[in-house]
């Protein structure tokens, strides 16, 4: 194994440091999290403004999906674009035609010509999207509560056109319930969460160095306590996006990956073990489905009528393509966690997660490892990814590398769980 001698620290192997740093570089930073919260609070107030078509109609407005569980990563491979998914629970009749429900929300957000969101608003098949100049998107999905179903469970609405169509439908969904279930099944390991947050904060602080003389550095409080399962989910989403970046058609929905990760969490000791374990479980599930020539079905444990696989996979070919990807992923992760030198690690990490975050993670690791070597606390074993830590200095050296230059956020293709732009 690529390993430091056992130190009792939550990150004890070079590959664990590197995977953590890749995840930090592709996730939503604490700064962007604050910005997203400020923006969706502003949108909530705007939708309910006097004269809005939805004035007095919003029962509750909340984050859903990756934003709700702390798993948001950038929606593009090259540019820092983040999709923030929101629910607007509306006090409207449940039998409102789907296209009409989207009409009302679109009108409430778009507003009059010259108003704040008028030129930023895009209608999609299940949501209204607000596109900011910095690349952040807010996807607002209208929902009507169904009182006979579990808490916050209701209809969301699917309509491709601005007029009634045979494809229009109401879909039972409970994203709030799923978020609660996911967090219950992936509790943060305190030691890991503390180390991961320290690395993220260190990296993000470096982003403000150039501005430090003229602007105060913001308070960098991590928005979520991270579990290894949650970081594995972010890495799996990033890997999926790399695989599907140039492909036609839909990619596996983030919520499907999240369901599998939560089902199989809390079984490992290290981040690399967790990621490999989760990849193997996904491979096993999809291999079984493909063997029986059945499409995999994944439902919301908080509401069985909420089917996450309603639009993907479209057929056995799409399912088989994902299974082939998973087989390669498992093979490469097994290589990463074996006897693997840093150059090979960098190549595999680039293949799996993209060149930029992999290269930045390797550079950050080398800086911290080099410092530990200079201080006489660590010694690199040539030709391998192993570092031996000098006697008496193991805790200090490991801590220096663990809490040093880390990685904050960037990176991935937009998931298609709530649909693309609708034809005008």
pLDDT tens profile 86-98: 999 999 999 999 9
**423's tokens:** 């034809």
For the cut 90, the answer to whether the pLDDT of residue 263 exceeds it is yes
Question: How confident is the model over 215-223, as a mean pLDDT?
Answer: 44
CA 178/CA 184 separation, integer angstroms? 10
CA distance 284 to 91: 43
Whether 301 contacts 259, CB under 8 Å: yes
Residues 50-65 pLDDT 10s: 999 999 999 999 999 9
> Is residue 178 a contact partner of residue 153, using CB atoms and an 8 Å limit?
no
SS3 228: helix
Question: What is d(CA 409, CA 238) in angstroms, rounded to the nearest whole number?
Answer: 12
CA 196/CA 234 separation, integer angstroms: 13
Structure tokens at 75: 């929606």
Q: Which CATH number fits domain 30-172: 3.30.70, 1.10.3470, 2.60.40, 3.30.460?
A: 3.30.460
Burial grade of 114 (CB within 10 A; 0-12, 13-18, 19 or more):
exposed
Is 50 exceeded by the pLDDT of residue 256? yes
What confidence category does residue 112 fall into, taking pLDDT thresholds of 50, 70 and 90?
Answer: very high
59 is catalytic: no
Active site residue 139: yes
CA distance 359 to 356: 5
Backbone angles phi and psi of 74, in degrees to 5: -65, 150
| Every domain of the chain and the residues it spans | 14-28+187-403, 30-172
Assign 368 a pLDDT band (cuts: 50, 70, 90).
Answer: confident
> Catalytic: 83?
yes
Alpha helix (H) ranges present in 267-354?
271-291, 316-336, 342-353
With a cut of 80, say whether residue 390 has pLDDT above it.
Answer: no
Residue at token pair 């306590």: 225
Q: Across the chain, what does the average pLDDT equal?
A: 84
Q: Tell me: pLDDT of 325 over 90.
A: yes
- Which uninterrupted H or E stretch holds 178? helix 175-185
Residue with more model confidence, 361 or 384: 361
Least confident of 27-31, 254-258, 326-330, 407-411: 407-411
* Catalytic residue selected from 85, 103, 168, 306: 85
Q: What is the mean pLDDT of residues 59-78?
A: 88
Contact 109, 46 (CB under 8 A): yes
How confident is residue 367, by pLDDT bands cut at 50, 70 and 90? confident
pLDDT tops 90 at residue 424: no
pLDDT band at 31 (very low <50, low <70, confident <90, very high): confident
Options 21, 103, 139, 202, the catalytic residue: 139
* Statement: residue 201 has pLDDT above 90: no
Rounded Cα–Cα distance for residues 187 and 195 (Å): 15
Confidence band of 421 (pLDDT split at 50, 70, 90): very low
pLDDT at 208: 63
pLDDT at 410 over 60: no
Distance CA 77, CA 10 (A): 29
Residues 16, 21, 83, 168: which is the catalytic one?
Answer: 83
């Amino acid at each position: 194994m690529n390993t430091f001698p056992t130190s009792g620290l939550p990150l004890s192997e070079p590959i664990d440091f590197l995977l953590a740093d890749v995840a930090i570089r592709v996730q939503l930073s604490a700064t962007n999290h604050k910005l997203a919260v400020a923006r969706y609070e502003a949108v909530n107030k705007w939708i309910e403004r006097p004269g809005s078509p939805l004035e007095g109609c919003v029962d509750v407005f909340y984050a859903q999906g990756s934003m709700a569980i702390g798993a948001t990563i950038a929606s593009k491979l090259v540019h820092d674009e983040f999709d923030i998914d929101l629910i607007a629970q509306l006090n409207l009749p449940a039998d409102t035609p789907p296209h009409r429900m989207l009409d009302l929300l679109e009108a409430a957000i778009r507003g009059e010509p010259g108003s704040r969101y008028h030129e930023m608003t895009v209608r999609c098949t299940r949501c209204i999207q607000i596109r900011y100049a910095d690349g952040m998107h807010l996807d607002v999905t209208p929902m009507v509560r169904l009182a006979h179903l579990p808490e916050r469970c209701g209809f969301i609405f699917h309509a491709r056109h601005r007029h009634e169509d045979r494809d229009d439908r109401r879909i039972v969904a409970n994203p709030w319930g799923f978020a609660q279930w996911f967090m219950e099944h992936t509790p943060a390991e305190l030691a890991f969460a503390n180390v991961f947050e320290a690395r993220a904060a260190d990296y993000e602080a470096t982003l403000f160095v150039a501005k430090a003389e003229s602007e105060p550095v913001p308070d960098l409080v991590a928005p979520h306590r991270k579990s290894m399962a949650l970081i594995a989910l972010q890495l799996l989403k990033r890997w999926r996006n790399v695989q599907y970046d140039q492909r036609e058609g839909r990619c596996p929905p983030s919520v499907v990956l999240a369901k599998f990760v939560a089902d199989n969490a809390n079984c490992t000791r290290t981040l690399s073990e967790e990621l490999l374990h989760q990849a193997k479980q996904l491979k096993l599930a999809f291999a079984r489905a493909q063997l029986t020539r059945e499409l995999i079905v994944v439902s919301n444990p908080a509401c069985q009528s909420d089917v996450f696989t309603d639009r993907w996979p479209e057929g056995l070919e799409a399912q088989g393509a994902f299974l082939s990807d998973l087989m390669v992923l498992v093979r490469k992760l097994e290589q990463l966690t074996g006897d693997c030198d840093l150059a090979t690690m960098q190549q595999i990490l680039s293949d799996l997660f993209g060149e930029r975050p992999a290269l930045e993670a390797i550079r950050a690791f080398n800086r911290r490892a080099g410092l530990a070597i200079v201080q006489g606390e660590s010694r690199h074993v040539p030709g391998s990814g192993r570092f031996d830590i000098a006697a008496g200095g193991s805790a200090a050296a490991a801590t220096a590398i663990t809490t040093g230059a880390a990685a904050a956020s960037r990176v991935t293709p937009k998931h298609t769980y709530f649909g693309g732009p609708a034809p005008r």
